[in-house]
Structures are given as C-alpha cells and as structure tokens.
C-alpha cells in the first residue's frame, strides 16, 4: 500500500492534531488523512469486532460449534485470577487454531537482541556518565532485513524470566516481513517509528503507524510489519512483568495528557492463505520458529480487551506551569508501566513536543538535575533544544540514575539573561524519553557501535564557572566573620 508522504511531512509541522479541524474546513476524523484502516476507540475496553456479520457468538464465548465452523481460541494475557479491572484476555474465532503448525524448525539468526541485563553477563556494560549515539544507519547490505531481523537491543535492566525489567531496542530495517509473523513471549512492545510508515498486520486487524504515532503490541500476540516506504528506523520499549497503561492524573482531574478515547484498536480483518508461514517466537531474548501451511491472520471475529492499539502523539495534551518555575517531567507521561514497587513506575514513556511556554521569573530550558531514574531519549523529527549537544532524529541520548546533567554554559547564560517571552516551543520538533526506575545496562552492540559518542565534558559543562565567588565582599557584609562563619577563602 503506497504512502502519501506529503501527509507525513504535514504532520511534522502541525502544533497539535486539532489543527486539522480548524474552522471546520476538514471533516472531523480521528485519523490522519492517509490512514487506510478503520479502528475502534478507547484503551482497555472490552471490544468486539467481526469481519463477517453474525460470526461472534452471543451469550457465551465458546459454543459447541461456531458459525462457519470457525475454531474458538482464547488468548489470556494476565493470570486467570487477576482482579477483573486488570484481567486481560480475548476470544478469537478463526479458520484454524494457532496450534495447527508443523512444530519447531531452525531458529532464525537474530544476534543483537539481549534479555539478560545483569552484571554477570559479559555482553552488557555499565555507562557511568552521559553518552549519546548519532543517528543509526539503515542496514548496510543488499540483503533484505525485516523488522524482526533488524531488532538491536540498546539498553535494559532485569530479565523476562525474573518477571520484571525493561529493554530498549532500535529497529533498522529495509524490507517487509514476508510470510513471517513475530510473537514476543517476553513482554509488551511499545514501538516508536522515526522514519518510514509501519503497516502492521495482527490477528485483530491492521494498524497503520506513521512517525509521530506509536503502537503497542501485547505479549504473545502475532504481528507482521510491512514497510510501505522501504527503509525504516525506530525505537522499541519492551517491558517484562508489566504492561503499559495510562498514568493516574492526580490533581489534574479527569482530563489532559493522553486521553483514553484517542487510543485506537483495529477492527477484524482476515486472510485465508494456504502458503507457508514462519512464526518467530522470542523467549528470554532467544528466537525460535515454527512453520505452518496457512496464514496466522485468519481471525474472522474477536472480542476482548487484550488487543493491540496505536496512539497519535500529536493528540497529546500538554500541561505545564502557568505562573513560575517548571513542573517535573512526569507531566509529559503518555503511558506508564508499573513495577512491583507500588510507588515507583517500571518505566514511563514521556512525549516532548510542541507546546506553549508561559512561565515567568525562571529560565525556560531544564534546570540542572540528578535523579534516580535512567533516561534514554529518542528524537523523531526537528531540531533538539535540550541540554545534549549532537542529538539528532534517529539518535539516542542516555544518562543513568544520578548522573548530573543540564544546560551547557552558553545556553544557560543566554536563558538566565533574558526575560522569557510567552512563546510556542518545539513547534516542529518531537522527541520522547523512556524513563525507567531501573539502572540500565548498555549492550555491547550499542557500546561498541561506531555511532556512539561521549560528550566533550570538560569543554562543555566544565565551563560552568563559579559566579558566586565574585560576591565575597558583599557576602562578608551580610554575614560578619564573628558570627561563626565557616567559609573558606
């Protein structure tokens, strides 16, 4: 399916999705103009969808014989006894059940995915200071590299077999998955395309995901990524022992940030295909495969709440200070995944994009800070204005917990010498942060990558001079030495 790239370019320049609806000149739609699919709205709803009317059973889920002799299959994503408000499952009505395959075949060779982020693993490294990566190259080969083949783990913490942890990946691909489906048994995948549209086929239907949108594929679901634009690059956040959900809003009330109704799940669409398919499983970061003689996307109807979804980041409703100072970056939280610690998220997905900045008597860019979270920032489009130099779309920037960071001197001096105007900021820029409570380790693939660069620390932040010391005389006048002053001179 062809992509109208003028639409993709247009969405890089809009301030907010609602710009489409200005003056009623464009018909109201939940979708970008070039999205070919239909969706259902809401997050965590119990949806139902049927590609052939009358194929869903009513009053029960597992009839003795389904209409058209479809097989019934339940997919359960939570423990059976998980409380009702957290219980995740779906019922699929399909031409052949998933077990109709010929067993495990040769494993695919996908070498750069890691799932053991512990200090005993020689394939991961500690990053004690700020590091960055220039934009990662697309595959430098004439061979076809699809989404699953192009997965490259960058950082992570924990282990899916321990039941809690995270991993961050890049995908660098040049070809569609052909007769191949991926199943991630380890955890949910939050995918952030940076370059190239993703046309994703799932058992629940199709999702069209463009740069500026994200998609979440839950654990155990089958999906195939097609690349209608050819080369494609993006970021992936994987969570183990948890799942993505909307953050609580606290004093914000019932609205703002990401709205539940802006999350879109597919409608049923099926293929009856008697050709050979490879189903690739990822378990503990290792890949295996089985072969079957039919499409895995033969689901005619389904119901349930264990369903993939997408979200357009241009719909995010930013909040911020309307008087003085900054609010903590948690105000940018689009989705969060809980940890086993009830007061600490495992990871937050934060959106950083176009908004108004109106606070006064402060300086606008981020203050100097150290915090317990690991920050892995990605950049989708635009020109970054943050504290990191050499940060471009398709690249990464990383600080592990308590690594100090903030503005370089020239930006700080400019920001503190000017009276801040009320202004739109990051008008054509879109970035994000994977912010995790876990101390992240860096994979050897990322650590040894030619695009990795250290910051020129002494020539940048080393230039933050001591402005305080020149006020010695005035300070002495305020605090006389006789009062027990412990200052050194």
Please give the Cα distance from 193 to 170 (Å, whole number). 10
- Output 241 or 386, the one with its CB closest to Fe ion: 386
- Output 122 or 128, the one with its CB closest to Fe ion: 128
- Least separation in angstroms between residue 372's CB and Fe ion is 11
Please give the Cα distance from 158 to 175 (Å, whole number). 31
- Least separation in angstroms between residue 282's CB and Fe ion is 31
- Output 12 or 326, the one with its CB closest to Fe ion: 326
- Least separation in angstroms between residue 405's CB and Fe ion is 6
- Output 298 or 375, the one with its CB closest to Fe ion: 375
| Contacts of Fe ion in 364-383 (CB under 5 A) | 375
- Output 112 or 375, the one with its CB closest to Fe ion: 375
- Least separation in angstroms between residue 388's CB and Fe ion is 9
- Least separation in angstroms between residue 341's CB and Fe ion is 21
Q: Which residue is nearest to Fe ion (CB)?
A: 375
- Least separation in angstroms between residue 127's CB and Fe ion is 15
- Output 299 or 433, the one with its CB closest to Fe ion: 433
- Output 367 or 471, the one with its CB closest to Fe ion: 367
- Please answer whether residues 118 and 389 qualify as being in contact, where contact means their C-beta atoms are separated by less than 8 angstroms: no
- Least separation in angstroms between residue 439's CB and Fe ion is 15
Please give the Cα distance from 368 to 468 (Å, whole number). 16
User: What's the token pair of residue 41?
Assistant: 């709205």
- Output 56 or 433, the one with its CB closest to Fe ion: 433
| Contacts of Fe ion in 182-221 (CB under 5 A) | none
- Output 210 or 400, the one with its CB closest to Fe ion: 400
Measure the N-to-C terminal CA separation of the chain; round to a whole number of Å: 72
- Least separation in angstroms between residue 167's CB and Fe ion is 20
- Least separation in angstroms between residue 18's CB and Fe ion is 29
User: What's the token pair of residue 344?
Assistant: 């600490």
- Please answer whether residues 79 and 304 qualify as being in contact, where contact means their C-beta atoms are separated by less than 8 angstroms: no
- Output 42 or 365, the one with its CB closest to Fe ion: 365
Q: How many residues bind Fe ion (CB under 5 A)?
A: 1
- Least separation in angstroms between residue 76's CB and Fe ion is 38
- Which residues contact Fe ion by CB under 5 A? 375
């Amino acid at each position: 399916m062809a992509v109208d790239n003028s639409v993709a370019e247009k969405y890089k320049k809009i301030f907010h999705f609602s710009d489409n609806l200005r003056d009623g000149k464009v018909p109201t739609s939940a979708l970008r103009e070039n999205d070919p699919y239909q969706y259902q709205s809401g997050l965590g709803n119990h949806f139902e969808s049927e590609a052939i009317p009358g194929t869903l059973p009513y009053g029960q889920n597992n009839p003795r014989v389904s209409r058209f002799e479809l097989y019934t299959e339940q997919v359960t994503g939570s423990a059976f006894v998980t409380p009702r408000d957290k219980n995740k499952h779906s019922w699929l009505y399909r031409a052949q059940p998933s077990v109709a395959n010929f067993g495990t075949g040769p494993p695919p060779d996908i070498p750069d995915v890691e799932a053991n982020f512990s200090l005993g693993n020689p394939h991961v490294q500690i990053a004690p200071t700020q590091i960055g990566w220039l934009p990662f190259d697309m595959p430098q080969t004439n061979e076809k590299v699809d989404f699953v083949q192009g997965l490259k783990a960058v950082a992570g913490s924990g282990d899916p077999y321990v039941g809690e942890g995270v991993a961050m990946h890049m995908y660098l691909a040049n070809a569609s998955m052909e007769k191949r489906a991926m199943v991630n048994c380890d955890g949910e995948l939050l995918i952030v395309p940076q370059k190239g549209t993703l046309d994703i086929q799932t058992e629940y239907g199709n999702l069209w995901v463009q740069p500026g949108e994200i998609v979440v594929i839950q654990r155990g679901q089958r999906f195939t990524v097609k690349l209608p634009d050819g080369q494609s690059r993006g970021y992936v956040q994987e969570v183990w022992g948890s799942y993505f959900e909307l953050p609580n809003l606290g004093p914000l009330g019932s609205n703002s940030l990401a709205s539940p109704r802006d999350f879109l799940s597919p409608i049923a669409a099926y293929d009856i295909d008697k050709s050979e398919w490879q189903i690739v499983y990822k378990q503990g970061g290792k890949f295996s495969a089985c072969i079957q003689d039919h499409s895995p996307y033969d689901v005619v109807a389904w119901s349930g709440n264990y369903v993939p979804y997408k979200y357009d980041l241009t719909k995010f409703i930013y909040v911020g200070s309307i008087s003085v100072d900054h609010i903590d970056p948690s105000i940018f939280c689009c989705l969060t995944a809980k940890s086993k610690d009830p007061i600490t998220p495992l990871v937050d997905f934060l959106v950083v994009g176009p908004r108004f900045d109106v606070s006064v008597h402060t300086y606008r860019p981020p203050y100097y800070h150290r915090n317990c979270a690991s920050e892995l920032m990605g950049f989708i489009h635009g020109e970054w204005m943050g504290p990191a130099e050499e940060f471009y779309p398709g690249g990464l920037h990383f600080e592990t917990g308590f690594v100090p960071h903030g503005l370089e001197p020239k930006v700080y001096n400019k920001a503190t010498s000017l009276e801040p105007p009320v202004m739109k900021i990051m008008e054509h820029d879109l970035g994000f942060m994977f912010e995790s409570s876990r101390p992240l380790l860096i994979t050897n693939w990322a650590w040894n990558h030619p695009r990795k660069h250290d910051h020129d620390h002494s020539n940048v932040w080393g230039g933050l001079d001591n402005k305080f010391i020149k006020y010695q005389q005035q300070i002495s006048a305020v605090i006389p030495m006789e009062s027990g002053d412990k200052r050194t001179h």
